Amino acid sequence: MSGLLERRPGLLVLVDPSRTTPAQAAEVARAAREAGAAGIMIGSSFDGTQDTERVARAIREAASGLPLALFPGSALQLTAEVDLVLFLSLVSGRNAQYLIEEHVRAVPFLTRHPVATLSTGYILVDGGRVTSVEAVSQNPRLSSRGTGSHAVRGRRDQERGPGPGGAGGGSGLRGCRDRARGARGVGRRLAGTGPGGRRVTPAEQARAGLTALATLAARVGDEQAETIAAIADTYVAALRSGGTLFFAGNGGSAADAQHLATEYVVRYQSNRPALRAVALTTDSSLLTACANDMGFDEVFARQVEALARAGDVLSLHSTSGESPNVIRAAQAAKGRGVTVVGFVGHSGGRLKDLTDVVLVVPSDDTARIQEIHLAIEHVICEIVEERLAK
């Protein structure tokens, strides 16, 4: 931290580990050092559990001595490969979850983490479009004047410290540690409140949640339209050659597997011949027998070994990309010449490296990831129907 302060005032270069490979990060770090940057800041609002550490290590190796600070999207992003962890508080927000509740939950992780922590207040300034962070945090659209007043208020709250007048997240690590006892009660009391303790209405919560979902969907559409088209091409090629689409996943993703197989076998939006599709999540006798005799990790792989052949497609849905039975299914498919398509979230997990085509939803919210997965699969189904009708 002292090395960073000695370089002030200065410019910090931001590296997003969910969008930057270690090699790219190393190149940015070398360029930043040559340009005289004060340091590197790594992190994002979205989870990147594995990528964060790899990218941080690459930056350190490429530009040793250049201070490296982390702003974690969640405790899962904590890594010892940085010099400083920023303990963030959105002082311009109105959602109590991001003013105090998440900070109280983070304290046990930060107190055990070997890297120093710095309490940091930040403000979202109106950039002309609604972002998911802005919607979820209920952040007001700040003008330059409003930004200044929020900055002054945040500074005063930090100086005031913990207590009745403090602003929660802005009052520092020690204050949050003192309040860790009874954190669940604190979260329940504050959730759903607005400025001055005003209760946020269900309609406002609905508006914010749907705005955040729409923003995430728009981002995925902007960044991954070509990937979506490539998955549609993969499905069309398999079906035209007499292949079968297999779908699998766990929990909500298992329900999606059944849903999607049905769309292809029966119909989606047009009357047409049935298309070959199977959900590997529906045969309770097979699933329980395999789980009992061979272990739950094998429930999908065993079906792939029995049913799938070269030219087929296995579409795997996993919000984490780390589910052992999904990983085993991908491995079994690769061994049989079956094309593997992955629908994942977070940083993609191990599944990302086992796929032929992968779509990663940049979020750590399981519900939002699954909603985007299903919406995209519906778009793909529409494309497939139109292509096969020609």
Task: Provide DSSP, 72-121.
Answer: -SSGGG--SSSSEEEEEEETT---HIIIIIHHHHHHHHHHH-SS-EEEEE
Residue 49 lies in a domain: yes
Q: Which residue has the higher pLDDT, 89 or 111?
A: 111
Evaluate whether 206 touches 214 at the Cβ level (below 8 Å): no
Residues 107 and 254 in one domain: no
d(CA 167, CA 48): 29
Angle at alpha carbon of residue 54, lines to 373 and 322, rounded to 5°: 35
Q: According to the model, what pLDDT value does residue 166 have?
A: 33
Residues 32 and 145 in one domain: yes
Residues 232 and 303 in one domain: yes
Residue 139 pLDDT grade (very low, low, confident, very high; cuts 50, 70, 90): low
CATH of the domain at 235: 3.40.50.10490
Residues 299 and 385 in one domain: yes
Residues 19 and 78 in one domain: yes
Q: Is the pLDDT of residue 211 over 60?
A: yes
CA dihedral 319, 324, 330, 335 (to 10 degrees): 170
CATH of the domain at 24: 3.20.20.390
Q: Is the pLDDT of residue 281 over 90?
A: yes
Residues 87 and 227 in one domain: no
Average pLDDT over residues 93-108: 65
Residue 216 lies in a domain: no
Residue 299 lies in a domain: yes
Residues 198 and 252 in one domain: no
Residue 259 lies in a domain: yes
Residue 215 lies in a domain: no
Residues 246 and 155 in one domain: no
What is the count of structural domains for the chain? Answer: 2
Residues 182 and 321 in one domain: no
Domain end position, chosen among 207, 232, 253: 207
* Helix (DSSP H) and strand (DSSP E) numbers for the chain: 15, 10
Residue 94 belongs to what domain range? 2-207
Residue 214 lies in a domain: no
Q: According to the model, what pLDDT value does residue 127 have?
A: 55
Beta strands in the chain (DSSP E): 12-15, 39-43, 68-71, 84-90, 117-122, 245-249, 277-279, 313-318, 339-344, 357-360
Residue 323 lies in a domain: yes
Q: Is the pLDDT of residue 85 over 60?
A: yes
Evaluate whether 360 touches 63 at the Cβ level (below 8 Å): no
Domain end position, chosen among 185, 207, 229: 207
Average pLDDT over residues 165-192: 36
Q: Please tell me the least confidently modeled range out of 45-49, 101-105, 259-263, 280-284.
A: 45-49
d(CA 359, CA 250): 17
Residue 281 lies in a domain: yes
Residues 180 and 121 in one domain: yes
Residues 14 and 113 in one domain: yes
Average pLDDT, the chain: 80
Domain end position, chosen among 173, 207, 241: 207
Residues 92 and 231 in one domain: no
